[in-house]
Structure 1
Amino acid sequence: MDEIRHQVTGIIDIGSNTVRLSVYQLAENGAYRVVDQGRWAARLSQRMGSDGTLPDEVVNELAEVLRHYGRICEKHGASRVRAVATAAIRQAANRDDVIRRLKEATGITVDILSGEDEARIGSAAVLNSLTVTNGFVIDIGGGSTEVTLIRDRKVVSAVSFPIGCVNTSARHHLGGGPVPRGKLADIQIEVKQLLDGEPWITEHPELPLIGLGGTVRAIAKLRQRESGYPFPLLHGYGLAAEEIGTTLNDLSALSLEQRRKKPGLSKDRGDVIVPGLAILLGVMQQTRCSGLVVSGTGLRDGLFYETCLPHLRLASGEDVLEESIRNLNALYPTAPHGHLEQVRRLAVSMYDRLRSEADFPEGSRRLLDAAARLFRIGAVVDYNDCAEHTFYILLHTHWNGLSHREMIITAAIASYTGANALRRKLAPYRSMLRQGDAEAIAKLGTLLQLACALDRSESQAISSLELRIKGSKLQLIAQAEHSLPVETTEIESIAKEFKKNWGTTPELHIRASHSPSLR
């Protein structure tokens, strides 16, 4: 196999609170992923001089961080580095001088994004990673907050407010002690006054609010820790406004030192989490949203799409899932595309014929379809334990288009080997599953096993398949281009497990065929 060539791009986000690096690798087969990251707690908004300028020592520190990030990009063979700055530098009185000095010291050109640019680019990341059709997007930074309205998966309105978790903390003199209720009320009044100038923000109640940035990720991690949430990903995690309010009240009653010792909360987030949550809750109240959904993607991901994949436009939620599956298979090409497509067609066609025989949860066909294209992904680690690795990879890698519960179900279908293994895999996630999910997974898992068995030789010999239930037998009448001894043996090996879940024993009957495609 020819070696796949890669294009590497470094994306640097000079935020008002944190300076972050993401190094993206894009292969010529279209696969992309993050291969390295960096993070520096800059607190630029806090360190602004009384005259509104960024002091020399801060610029020098920033230049050293950029040099370090540049070296990381160079080690990965990056062909380009794109650096952007947001509110703190945008609002600095000496912004042009800062950009010039950074260029001279590091060789890196820093582009200053407008608030509208931030909103547009962050929303692009959301639309390429979540299935949301209509909703608000909020990005709370250190020095600004962007609010965007999405309708029919298009940005229709956006605004940037000059308040963020860092400059709000400084403006309201939030020190090391607990934050008084009056201070929280003042912040929320400030938020309301700013949002009142944008009438569209209050005209679309009950839409979800999609949250980007460190404040949203911080409360999601904290709530997952406190609730014992078993799933390892933040992206797609949901919170209600009541949870935000309760957490804000709890954290504001603590001193800074106590917040920094709070399990699940990053130490360098302790002094800005309260003003950040006060802003978030104020926006949630004004939009009257249905709840908060966490986006694990943000500005850097949007910049990557804009820089490296400018034509990627996912028009629907289904496109988000399709793109994720395509990317995973491009990243981990462990099975021939023709075999995966044949298994997918066989699995879905059998599901359509047999769905009346079982009470499947809504959306089961979609999850079976996804599992049928991902069941071999674990072979990238070890073919012999492929099912175990498939389950782990699908629960710990970053892919989009499904809820957390749906990801668990899909991973379990794709890795199904039997009832005992299924119980062990699902045990940590029982609180996230619904009644009947385990039984449906077992049925769909054995159906996928049967589809795999029907193309065990990976020859795509079956051009059409007819199913007949005769008593306790499930007759699989296949038109095939040649005899299928390997497939027959494989079906016999899984027949007992299939009967446990479906009550019928599969039998393969072959008819000669010259048809080129399965129908």
Structure 2
Amino acid sequence: EEARLGFLGVINTIGLKDFVIFDLGGASTEITLVRNRQIEQSVSLPIGALTLTGTYQKGDEFTDKECNKMIKAIRKVIEEQPWLKNTKMPLLGIGGTARNIAKMDQRKLSYPITKLHNYEIPYHRFTELLDEVKSKPLAQRKKINGLSSERADIIIAGMSIVYELFNYVNCKTLVVGGSGLREGLFYDYYGHNYLGGNPIIPDILIHSAENVLLEMTRHELVHAKYICRLADTLFEQWWSLHKGDNALRRCLQVASLLHDIGKRVNYYSHARHGCYMLVNSNLYGMTHIEQAFSAFLVMNSHGLTPKEYKNFLYGKLLDDEQRSIGQKLSIILAIAEALDESHEQLVMNLDSRISPDEVRLIIQYPKHRDIDITKGAVEKLVKPFKKEFKRQLEIEWSPQ
């Protein structure tokens, strides 16, 4: 039951389909094999960071002999579960040990995002952390940046369990989950009472993005969803110009829905505030890099701003290729935003004609409505469009 609830906390907040969950506690470790977002097998193993330390460490520090004896015992227990061997799926850790591993790794990297949820640690960095932890006596371990002083005495045992799981599962990545048993209890209740009995949310990204929007007024919500539809239409029609994949399309959808959330802080600089709020919101189903990418789109949702771009807080998470396509998708979001500058949802339909030298965007709108505000906002983006896409943007306004 503990494994099931931990699974519900994870599956509704992490966008993986196939993985192995471990919930490492003081006296036991729950292991769950997940395929296609469903539990395939689970077990509670009688090994935990506290009991292993108490059983095998006789003095103030582990001796090499004691440590080797403990590792053999861990390996023996894990190897009694042949269904785990060589699954080559990512490990997903919940609980205090996993969170402390993430904190230590983030501090070493001066990582720009402080959240631990969905943080990824490759095998080689994990082993470097384990070597460091094992090389220091307790007094020095307590000073390791990111390691809780209350956990410093049992961290060697905890990380040894994770190390053996890494090797037995034969995987390359540890993903840290910030949601577990507590959230699982909530989703169990929520699913049975509000989702027709199914506690597994089908689309956790859009569901969580819409949760972030709940504080918006109805008018703001209509505008946000309208911008999302326009941006998605342009993404599809202009695919040959940007070649973005489905993951980037989802990033654009989220950025479109949340592009105005910064107005809760300040209207005039809401793009900058929205960038920070998006990264720090409870958005589920996105990697940290995807959240940084979406934040980049929000920051530039009124057109690319060189100063903000240069000082982009989460820029170190994006490579040159991601920045390049991010600039193109920022223009798409900016045009979608401009198309509803008046917040009246006047655009009825969009159609594009693409040639080597130009993109003709045909915009249909009600003939009896004044769209001067919209025209002015869109025309301002013709020059930035040409800079990014190397084509002239020709706007054809078509009253219907």
TM-score, L = length of structure 1? 0.71
Secondary structure at the counterpart of residue 115 of structure 2? coil
192 and 382 in structure 1: CA distance in 2 versus 1, 3 angstrom threshold: same
The structure with higher relative contact order (CA 8 Å, sep 6+) is: 2
472 and 245 in structure 1: CA distance in 2 versus 1, 3 angstrom threshold: closer
Distance 1:281 1:333 in 2: 49
State whether residues 467 and 477 of structure 1, in contact with CA within 8 Å, keep that contact through their aligned partners in structure 2. Answer: yes
Instruction: Tell me, yes or no, if structure 1 residue 398 matches structure 2 residue 282.
Output: yes
> Which residue of structure 1 aligns with residue 396 of structure 2?
509
Gaps of 5+ in 1: 1-116, 514-519
CA shift, 1:285, in A, is 1.9
For 1:420-475, what per-residue CA distance to the aligned partner results, in whole angstroms no more than 9, with x for missing partners?
A: 1342343x444422222222111111111111111112222221112235786543
The letter for the 2-side match of 1:357 is: L
> Which residue of structure 2 aligns with residue 477 of structure 1?
362
Q: Superposition RMSD on alpha carbons, in Å?
A: 2.2
Distance 2:129 2:158 in 1: 12
Instruction: Tell me, yes or no, if structure 1 residue 442 matches structure 2 residue 324.
Output: no
Instruction: Tell me, yes or no, if structure 1 residue 243 matches structure 2 residue 129.
Output: no
State whether residues 131 and 320 of structure 1, in contact with CA within 8 Å, keep that contact through their aligned partners in structure 2. Answer: yes
> Which residue of structure 1 aligns with residue 65 of structure 2?
182
Instruction: Tell me, yes or no, if structure 1 residue 221 matches structure 2 residue 103.
Output: yes
CA shift, 1:411, in A, is 0.8
The letter for the 1-side match of 2:365 is: A
> Which residue of structure 2 aligns with residue 343 of structure 1?
227
Distance 1:341 1:241 in 2: 40
Percent identity of paired positions between Structure 1 and Structure 2: 29
Distance 1:479 1:314 in 2: 40
Matching residue within 400, 411, 424 for 2:310: 424
Distance 2:180 2:299 in 1: 31
> Which residue of structure 2 aligns with residue 142 of structure 1?
26
217 and 445 in structure 1: CA distance in 2 versus 1, 3 angstrom threshold: same
Matching residue within 17, 26, 34 for 1:133: 17
Distance 1:138 1:443 in 2: 40
> Which residue of structure 2 aligns with residue 414 of structure 1?
298
> Which residue of structure 2 aligns with residue 264 of structure 1?
146
Larger radius of gyration: 1
The letter for the 1-side match of 2:304 is: G
Per mean C-alpha deviation after superposition, the further-off stretch among 300-309 and 276-285 is 300-309
> Which residue of structure 1 aligns with residue 45 of structure 2?
161
158 and 224 in structure 1: CA distance in 2 versus 1, 3 angstrom threshold: same
For 1:157-204, what per-residue CA distance to the aligned partner results, in whole angstroms no more than 9, with x for missing partners?
A: 111122211121111135433x223222222211222223322122x5
Q: Which has the higher helix share?
A: 2
State whether residues 413 and 444 of structure 1, in contact with CA within 8 Å, keep that contact through their aligned partners in structure 2. Answer: yes
Distance 2:79 2:391 in 1: 64
Matching residue within 138, 147, 157 for 1:275: 157
Distance 2:218 2:298 in 1: 14
State whether residues 206 and 288 of structure 1, in contact with CA within 8 Å, keep that contact through their aligned partners in structure 2. Answer: yes
474 and 289 in structure 1: CA distance in 2 versus 1, 3 angstrom threshold: closer
CA shift, 1:320, in A, is 1.7
Distance 2:55 2:290 in 1: 44
Secondary structure at the counterpart of residue 455 of structure 1? coil
> Which residue of structure 1 aligns with residue 75 of structure 2?
192
The letter for the 2-side match of 1:436 is: E
Secondary structure at the counterpart of residue 462 of structure 1? coil
Instruction: Tell me, yes or no, if structure 1 residue 322 matches structure 2 residue 209.
Output: no
TM-score, L = length of structure 2? 0.91
State whether residues 491 and 507 of structure 1, in contact with CA within 8 Å, keep that contact through their aligned partners in structure 2. Answer: no
Residue correspondences, number: 392
Gaps of 5+ in 2: none
Distance 1:432 1:336 in 2: 31
Distance 2:98 2:161 in 1: 11
Distance 2:324 2:217 in 1: 30
> Which residue of structure 1 aligns with residue 381 of structure 2?
494
Spell out the pairing of 1:86-105 with structure 2 (5 A cutoff): none
CA shift, 1:386, in A, is 0.8
State whether residues 412 and 425 of structure 1, in contact with CA within 8 Å, keep that contact through their aligned partners in structure 2. Answer: no
Matching residue within 182, 187, 205 for 2:87: 205
> Which residue of structure 2 aligns with residue 102 of structure 1?
none
CA shift, 1:342, in A, is 2.0
State whether residues 221 and 264 of structure 1, in contact with CA within 8 Å, keep that contact through their aligned partners in structure 2. Answer: yes
Q: Which has the higher strand share?
A: 1
The letter for the 1-side match of 2:57 is: H
Distance 1:364 1:449 in 2: 16
Instruction: Tell me, yes or no, if structure 1 residue 433 matches structure 2 residue 318.
Output: yes
State whether residues 363 and 398 of structure 2, in contact with CA within 8 Å, keep that contact through their aligned partners in structure 1. Answer: yes
498 and 175 in structure 1: CA distance in 2 versus 1, 3 angstrom threshold: farther
Distance 2:106 2:258 in 1: 27
State whether residues 483 and 510 of structure 1, in contact with CA within 8 Å, keep that contact through their aligned partners in structure 2. Answer: no
